[in-house]
Amino acid sequence: MKIARKLPNRPDAPEPLHTRAVHDLRFIRETMEAAAPITAVPGLGLVAMGLIALAAAALAQIQPTAERWLAIWFAAAMLAVGVFGVTLWFKARTSGVSLWQGSLRRFVLSLFTPMGAGALLTTAMLLARNIQPVPGMWLLLYGTGVVTGGAYSAIRIVPIMGICFLCLGSLALFSPTEWGNAMLALGFGGFHVLFGLVIARRYGG
């Protein structure tokens, strides 16, 4: 008598077409989500943010008090966030990408959460009359947001920019106080202009 034996599934057994269709649609969505957030970052927006930061650094340098120095940078940050938001929206619209699709939403949230924490910490330091660590802290928190936001994509240019901010922030934390303004100019000005130009050239706009 022959013994009934269940054969293992053949690894090359064809997948039903409708199952393949479900997998394909999921794969297309995930690939688009992985590619979109970084290429949706507006390169020209980053360049504009960099130019705002360079102007702010020049203005802040000649302020007589720490409070006014801080006010200049705060105003520049608000302006830069507005410019970034508008250019992000514009580029997402022209690329046909939704701003609130999965990974782009996570990118924006990852970026703005540490920035909110930075605003609170700055207020606390101002009240304690010790703003010496502020430049290093801003650069570190911004770099953290960019690295974690960019981690959702396999395309590396944005996380690399974040790492540059982290390195500069670490250096700024242990540098003389008078270097703080120049460090901010190099980071928020120089890095934004440099990486913004690369992103605009490679990924359009």
Partner 1 sequence: MAYREPAPERHAPIPEPPESLDRLIHARVRLGVVSALAVSDSLSFNDLKSLLKTTDGNLSVHARKLEEGGYIECRKSFEGRVPHTIYVLTEAGRNALERYLDHMEALIHSVRDH
Report the interface residues with partner 1, using CB under 8 A.
1-2, 4-7, 16-18, 21-22, 24-25, 27-28, 31-32, 34-36, 39-40, 95-97, 153-156, 202-205
Min dist CB 205 to partner 1, Å, is 7
Choice between 24 and 67, CB closer to partner 1: 24
Q: For the chain, first and last CA: distance in Å?
A: 74
97/184 with CB nearer partner 1: 97
CA distances for 132 relative to 13, 122, 172, 197, angstroms: 66, 10, 10, 31
Return the number of the residue (27 or 74) whose C-beta is nearest partner 1: 27
**SS3 for 125?**
helix
Please choose, from the candidates 113, 108, 141, 116, the residue with its C-alpha nearest in 3D space to the C-alpha of residue 37.
108
By the 8 A CB rule, do 18 and 167 touch?
A: no
CB of residue 32 to partner 1, shortest distance in Å: 5
User: For the residues of 13-72, what is the DSSP string, one character each?
Assistant: PPPPHHHHHHHHHHHHHHHHHHHHHHHTS-HHHHHHHHHHHHHHHHHHHT-SSHHHHHHH
Q: State the Cα–Cα distance between residues 95 and 92, nearest whole angstrom.
A: 5
If the CB atoms of residues 42 and 187 are measured against partner 1, the closer one turns out to be 42
Closest separation between CB of residue 88 and partner 1, Å? 14
Grouping H, G, I as helix, E, B as strand and the rest as coil, residue 91 is helix
If the CB atoms of residues 18 and 129 are measured against partner 1, the closer one turns out to be 18
Q: How far is the CB of 147 from partner 1 (least distance, A)?
A: 16
Min dist. Cβ of residue 144 to partner 1 (A): 22
The least distance separating partner 1 from the CB of residue 82, rounded to whole angstroms, comes to 24
Task: Compare residues 82 and 204 and give the one whose CB is closer to partner 1.
Answer: 204
